[in-house]
Structure formats: C-alpha cells, structure tokens
C-alpha cells in the first residue's frame, strides 16, 4: 500500500480540514482538488437512514473515547488508529499495520463476524457494539457493556457498549469513567432524572406500576391524607406531578410490600442454575 493510501486509511473521518478520498481515486491519479468531496457523499448516505449500521458517530463522542483510551494507557499519541468502517468499504481488504489499533463503530449486523475476524488475525481493536447483544460466544476479549446512550448523527438513539482485545485477562468491565466521559460530551436525551419519593408518600405514577402488575393494594381513607405537593419539591421550584397522598406507617409498609410484589412479577420467572451449571460455578470458585 502506498504511503498516501495508508495515510488515507488512517485519517480521521470527521476532521473538518480533511477531504476523505477513496483509494481507487488515489490510484487513478485524480487530483485532490478535482475529486468530489467523499466526505459529503458519506454524510448523504446517512440521510433518512436509522438502522444501527447507518449510525454515524458524533466526533465529540469519538474523541471522548480516544481520550478515555489514552487515560487508561491503552493507546498513546503515537498509536496508529485505523477506522475501516464506512459506506462502500470492505474492512477485510484493509491493511492493518503492526501496532495499529482499530477504534471504530462497525456495522452491528455483522458485529460478531468482525470481532472474530480481528481476533483471528491478531489485530488490536476497540469497537462499538450493541449493548444487549455485546457478548460474542467464547471470544477472548473484554466486553464493556457501558450502556452509553448515544444519539448518532442520523438521529438514532442506541444503547452502546464496547468490545476490545486491548485489556487482557478481563472479560467484563462496566467502565463507569467511559460512560461518564461520553455522557459529558453528549448527554443522553432520552434519560430523564426520576424523583424517588419518601416511604410515607405515594402518587398515581407509582401506584400505576403496582396496578399494571395486578397486585392488590388498598389504602383506607383514615390511613392517608391528600397532598398537592411536597415541601422539598416546592423548595426546589418543582411539583409532584398530579399530587399524591401521605401514608400512615402501616399503609406505607403495605405499599412497600405491594411494590416488591409488583417488581417480582415484572422480573418474570426466576431462572435457576442446573447441577451441571453449578459445577461450572464451583470450578470458577476454586
């Protein structure tokens, strides 16, 4: 591969100064000035698409991830970073120089294949992955189900985790500082802070969860008192949506029991380990 093509392959896709050009154009000897802006074409491909394969990473999120990797000592300023995933490309045709690290957001539809492909070739990587299906069967990697809620450039909001072979001997890590670093530059839009109310207070929002789970809960009129807002909420310039009721200690205890029952029903069947699976746990615990 020519130096120039190599440079192209390792370039940051989102550098404002950079005109990203395709290697076939480089080979054809077309001048950079005459070439269409591949970057713009790249952006156009995402218009209207909302699949996870079409999720274009906000540059500030990408930078936050690089910053975290550096802070953890997993890469440094000299590391050759490769980003092979973008429209029309075939990552298997790229060259991965010794010491390079692939830091990119791959198409999730072939996520497991990609992870295995890099492992088999000894290529170091730190990849975005689908939070809920991050696990790749028996892959010797570190899974980071950090649950970063990322709004991608196409508007899709995706719970994102990461997978890497840069961290040896660790299979699973929540990496809260990575989550915090991403949140700091791109606060998740769909997460709203929820208030938790005191034991001796309830409202229809809370009771609705109990009712949905078909748990019977009743409060006598002598055991509760109507309440439009709580002092603490009022002091904070807020209000309890829809108001609620103060509860006696007995009613509060019954409420807690009803909420526990509702949570258990919400959790569904409690799955147990088989004797064979307990043997695995015993082996791991030796």
User: Other C-beta atoms within 10 Å of 96: how many?
Assistant: 19
Q: Find the shortest distance in angstroms from Cβ 226 to ligand SAM.
A: 52
Q: Find the shortest distance in angstroms from Cβ 105 to ligand SAM.
A: 3
Span of 49-57, 163-171, 214-222, 261-269 interacting with ligand SAM by CB under 6 A: 49-57
Q: DSSP letters along 153-198, please?
A: TTS-EEEEEEEESSSTT-SB---HHHHHHHHHHS--SS--------
Nearer to ligand SAM, 105 or 112 (CB): 105
The residues that bridge with 201 in the sheet, in sequence order, are: 246
How many residues in the shown chain lie near ligand SAM by CB under 6 A? 16
Q: Find the shortest distance in angstroms from Cβ 281 to ligand SAM.
A: 37
> Of residues 6, 39, 50, 53, which one binds ligand SAM by CB under 6 A?
53
User: In the window 223-282, what residues touch ligand SAM (CB under 6 A)?
Assistant: none
Nearer to ligand SAM, 53 or 254 (CB): 53
Task: State phi, psi for 172 to the nearest 5 degrees.
Answer: -140, 135
Q: In angstroms, rounded to a whole number, what is the distance separating the alpha carbons of residues 192 and 155?
A: 18
Nearer to ligand SAM, 12 or 200 (CB): 12
The residues that bridge with 77 in the sheet, in sequence order, are: none
User: In the window 55-114, what residues touch ligand SAM (CB under 6 A)?
Assistant: 55-57, 83-87, 89-91, 104-107
Q: In angstroms, rounded to a whole number, what is the distance separating the alpha carbons of residues 191 and 185?
A: 15
Q: Find the shortest distance in angstroms from Cβ 70 to ligand SAM.
A: 18
* Whether the Cβ atoms of residue 149 and residue 159 lie closer than 8 Å to each other: yes
User: Is 8 one of the binding residues for ligand SAM (CB under 6 A)?
Assistant: no
Both tokens of 20, joined, read 């990203």
Chain residues that interact with ligand SAM, rule: CB under 6 A: 53, 55-57, 83-87, 89-91, 104-107
């Amino acid at each position: 591969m020519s130096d120039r093509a190599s440079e192209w392959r390792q370039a940051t896709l989102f550098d404002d100064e950079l005109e990203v050009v395709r290697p076939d154009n480089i080979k054809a000897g077309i001048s950079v000035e005459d070439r269409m802006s591949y970057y713009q074409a790249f952006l156009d491909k995402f218009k209207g698409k909302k699949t996870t394969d079409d999720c274009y990473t906000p540059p500030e999120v990408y930078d936050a991830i690089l910053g975290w990797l550096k802070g953890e000592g997993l890469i440094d300023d000299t590391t050759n970073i490769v980003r092979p995933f973008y429209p029309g490309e075939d990552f298997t045709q790229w060259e991965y120089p010794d010491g390079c690290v692939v830091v990119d957001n791959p198409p999730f539809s072939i996520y497991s294949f990609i992870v295995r492909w890099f492992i088999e070739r000894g290529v170091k990587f730190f990849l975005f992955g689908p939070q809920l299906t991050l696990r790749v069967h028996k892959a010797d990697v570190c899974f980071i189900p950090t649950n970063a809620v990322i709004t991608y450039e196409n508007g899709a909001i995706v719970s994102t985790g990461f997978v890497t072979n840069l961290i040896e001997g660790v299979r699973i890590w929540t990496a809260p500082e990575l989550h915090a670093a991403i949140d700091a530059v791109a606060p998740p839009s769909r997460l709203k802070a929820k208030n938790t109310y005191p034991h001796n207070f309830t409202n229809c929002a809370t009771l609705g969860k109990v009712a949905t789970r078909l748990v019977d809960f009743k409060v006598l009129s002598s055991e509760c008192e109507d309440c439009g807002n709580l002092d603490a909420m009022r002091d904070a310039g807020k209000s309890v949506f829809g108001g609620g009721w103060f509860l006696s200690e007995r009613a509060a205890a019954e409420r807690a029991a009803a909420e526990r029952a509702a949570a258990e029903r919400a959790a569904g069947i409690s799955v147990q380990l088989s004797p064979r699976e307990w043997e695995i746990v015993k082996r791991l615990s030796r």
